[in-house]
Structure 1
Amino acid sequence: MNNIIQGIASFQGNVFPGQRQMYQQLVRDGQQPSALIIACADSRVSPEHITQAGPGDLFVCRNAGNIVPPASDVVGGVSSAIEYAVVALGVRDIVVCGHSDCGAMKGLMNRDLLKRMPSVASWLRHAEAAERIVCEAYPEGMDAQARHHALALENVVVQLANLRTHPSVAAALAKGSLRLHGWFFEIETGALLAYDGANGRFRPIAGADMPVAQDSSTGSRLQAA
């Protein structure tokens, strides 16, 4: 804990004094984040660091495996964060961000790793569709590393599908006030890939070119008569 305590002291003594007015304004005006990012709890994956965002810029929800449980009668932390971000904060974008070397995906590939973690095993059932896709639609001869990479990518797409089951998200998409994004962060290279809903592929984010997983134009819904 010593390094954490030292960090707090540095923030209070060196950082906060120069940003005092900004923090006071954030309290006075309230938070107005532009996006909700649902990311993995992995300590190597910090959405604020990756995007170089400041306080008040992002509404962040993190959990093992960047999971979004489908909407149900059982209220959880992820579903309440999604609803609050869309309804109360009016975010215009939601990002599901996966990453390389994900321990949760390794657990899906090797269930023996989860024997002593029943809560994690139960949580990861929300990613089983991604596992099945890789098992049935990918070549059998893939090595373990390639299989893990494919699983982590497919998991982002599966969680985007789960995200669309939430009423607040479905309504905002129908109104054209929300866009969904799927990202994949490669820890070892710093590269960030984005899912392109138009062609079903991940591609690098380059400059202002930001692929969108779904918005009102790419979503399918009934048109008013």
Structure 2
Amino acid sequence: MQKKILIVDDEPAIRDMVAFALRKGEFDPIHAGDAREAQSAIADHVPDLILLDWMLPGTSGLELARRWRKDPLTREIPIIMLTARGEENDRVGGLEAGVDDYVVKPFSARELLARIRAVMRRSREDDEDGSVAIGALRIDGAAHRVFAENGGAPSPVPIGPTEYRLLHFFMTHPERVYTRSQLLDHVWGGSVYVEERTVDVHIRRLRKTLEPHQLDGMVQTVRGAGYRFSAAL
């Protein structure tokens, strides 16, 4: 069954060009020109991935990404942002809003398809991972969910797909320091498209995710070396 990909872009010519590339890549494209149409499309059929333009009328792509990362229906859908903004601060801003990757315009169909397949491959690998528990944190690999167990009933931890992968790797490799480069290789699969600063952004997002459960201290910075995951807060 073909994977459905939602294209959210207010320029019909770009949507048509991207849709043509997706069909050539054996994906099933869905079109939306703004936030309202995107929400309607998701309500009709939850896509397997979203291609999201940064600049949209009314609601920006960044605002949409933040909204979707808070919604249980869309929280785990991978998002790739399409943007003409290639500066580092803009890219970091997109990552902090919850996107999983970005493609800077103008881009080739080959590059776009490569990024889509890389993000989807990482998502499939997540589904194959097993369950693990350390301290008050538990990952249910089959359900693809994270729980915090602080004495009472387990509380679900809302988490995005990239933070899930990062947390799962940490929890299956605790008490060991990893450099940014090593984390990129293990969590992102050594993708040539991802920069080392990306790790710092997602570490911040992972800590923010764990903070309401007072477990953010499990993700530790080792000055001059990298990051470590430890049950010893």
Q: Please give the range of the TM-score, normalised by the shorter of the 2 chains.
A: 0.3 to 0.5
TM (normalized to structure 2)? 0.36
Q: Which of these two proteins has the greater Rg computed from alpha carbons?
A: 1
TM (normalized to structure 1)? 0.37
The structure with higher relative contact order (CA 8 Å, sep 6+) is 1
